[in-house]
Amino acid sequence: MTSSIFVKLVLLGLLEPVIDQNFYYMGMKYTTATFAAAMCNILPAITFVMACILRLEKVKVKSLRTQAKVIGTVATVAGAMLMTLVKGPVIELITTKGRSNHELQKDGTDLQNVIKGSLMITVGCFSWACFMILQAITLKTYPAELSLTAWICLLGTAEGTIVALVMERGKKTVWSINWDEKFLAALYSGIFCSGLAYYIQGVIMKDRGPVFVTAFNPLSMIFVAIMGSFILAEQMYIGRVIGAIVIVAGLYLVVWGKSKDYKSASPSIDEEIEPAKHLMDAGNDGKKKSNHEAANVDVSSSGVITIDINDKRNQLTV
């Protein structure tokens, strides 16, 4: 491992487990789970712009696949914002009748806290996009996804511990471990949101790029809205259903555009065999011509024998 790779690993551990997750959780504290998931859907747009600037993504304005990727990315972000801003009529579900509404409890939160939470989530999303781009760059020189994941989690744990010691100094109660929902949330986040997620996205990212991976992020908004209705008794609005449909349509466009990029980068078997066929045909034509052509032999008075074969003059002196 070179020093440049180790520096990248340190930055990866700082960007994703430390900066992104801490700001995301603090932002969620001031808003709701659905709002936080919706705000994170700006991730594909940020990643797409950064990938284009760093030339990690192929962009041809007149190409149909590029237009599909751009329109699809905009559609996923627009669908997520639609789910957040447009409510419309309430869809009555069995799970929301007669239960306290978690979202209505948050409506009493003042505007200052909502703005504060939005800014925190935005910082976390930008850090997440930087992590995606840096991971794609690191995989080119360190193509071991599982080892890379282990290093990111290890260094992120060390850096997160240092940050916690500084921010929570003098508070011994924050280090106590209780067998409750907080411990379960931390365990789930470490195993699935960090370890398993880093490895899977690294495997896919090495072949398809960071834009393809982040394009699926808006799907979390749909899952959170559904689970929030059943678990947290959040109201389901018609605007969220329409936004979910727009997200799925935009995601399809991005996947279609990336599939065309993948096909154009990998030539088909027929394209690879075609040059060999031309060479074989040219060789067969040459053999046929050589069989039908005669050799002309001239003997001069000076003893020079001249032989003409296939328009190439070979002289032999006797």
DSSP state string for 147-216:
HHHHHHHHHHHHHHHHHHHHHTTT-GGGG---SSHHHHHHHHIIIIIIIIHHHHHHHHHHHH-HHHHHTT
134, 29 Cβ separation under 8 angstroms: no
Banded pLDDT at 1 (limits 50, 70, 90): confident
Which two three-digit tokens encode residue 48?
Answer: 């797409």
For residue 118, the surrounding DSSP H or E stretch is: helix 111-141
Question: Which residue in this structure is represented by tokens 């309430």?
Answer: 90
Distance (Å, rounded) from C-alpha 191 to C-alpha 201?
14
Which two three-digit tokens encode residue 41?
Answer: 């859907």
9, 155 Cβ separation under 8 angstroms: yes
What percentage of the chain reaches a pLDDT higher than 90?
Answer: 20
Distance (Å, rounded) from C-alpha 262 to C-alpha 41?
24
- Adjacent-strand bridge partners of 313: 308
- Mean of pLDDT over the chain: 77
Kindly tell me if the per-residue pLDDT of 199 is higher than 90: yes
Q: Structure pTM?
A: 0.69
